[in-house]
Structure 1
Amino acid sequence: MTVEVTELAEEHESSLRALLVAEGMGLHAGTLLDHRHRPYERLYVALAGSVVVGFVEGTFTDREIFGSGEFPPPRARIVQLVVAVHSRRTGIGSALVGRFAIDAEAARLDSLVLYPEPDHADVRRAFFHHCGMRPVLGTPLLGARLDIIRTALVSRS
């Protein structure tokens, strides 16, 4: 499946809302769409034609203070990554993470972290491991330098 990853635009909103409802996240749709007006939020969608089949939400200004080991702030952080159930295991999640990482590097950041969601934790951890991310010792985070993520994704494409 060929997809285009782009920043969320107004013309994608209804298709993104449909994806969120289909994935059981309908209540999250309004909040997510409101976030796109915050300059520190980054929202990207994966489009198959004009249909949103995935999205990633994050920030390039993560400054949370917690024991983050080798990935101190400022850094990029993925808040949410969703791929339509019928489009999983096709490279869409990797494309979304890859675009997010490239733009984070362009913003002069050097690392990316995330809190893995508890739903389907093994599958999610395996996916992010595929992207080059590893557990950050002493924290609930997964993280990696952006160049490691880029290399991991390029070598697997």
Structure 2
Amino acid sequence: MNLPEGFWLLTAIVIVGSALLFYLRWRRSGVEPEVGMADTGSAIESFSRAFPDLPIRNVVMTRDGSSAFLRLADSRVGFVEHAALHSAARLLEPQTLTVGAPPDSQTINIAFPGAAGGGLFEFSSVEEAAEVSLWLCGEFAVVGADSPALAEKSDGE
């Protein structure tokens, strides 16, 4: 059986071209960013779609960018978590959260009530973790300057 002239050249071109395409696809897959929210704007957009009437005061992203905690104008806390191709937004009520011991000072361990979500949330800095922790604690009653305990302490100094 005789093969047409140039058959081996054409076969070699197809094999080399296919190998090149597979190589480039493999290289590109390693360069693509992880699936997550790119910035605070994505978190704000996701939360605003779910809760359009709640103004946002501040946003703190987790280190990996998969979650964001949002401080709302009415002192409540919002939460956005990005998973696969969608994101979920929720309002967090500080009185209903369960907080566990974190492994380090940049991490918060939270269990959400009635949901499978929660876990360890690592932040870029200790300050960000502390700020979100304070948001989750809720509002505390501030002792006034006319309090006897505070007055005794300030007079003794």
TM-score normalised per structure 2:
0.28
TM-score normalised per structure 1:
0.28
The structure whose Rg is larger is 2
Q: Which has the higher contact order (CA 8 A, sep 6+)?
A: 1
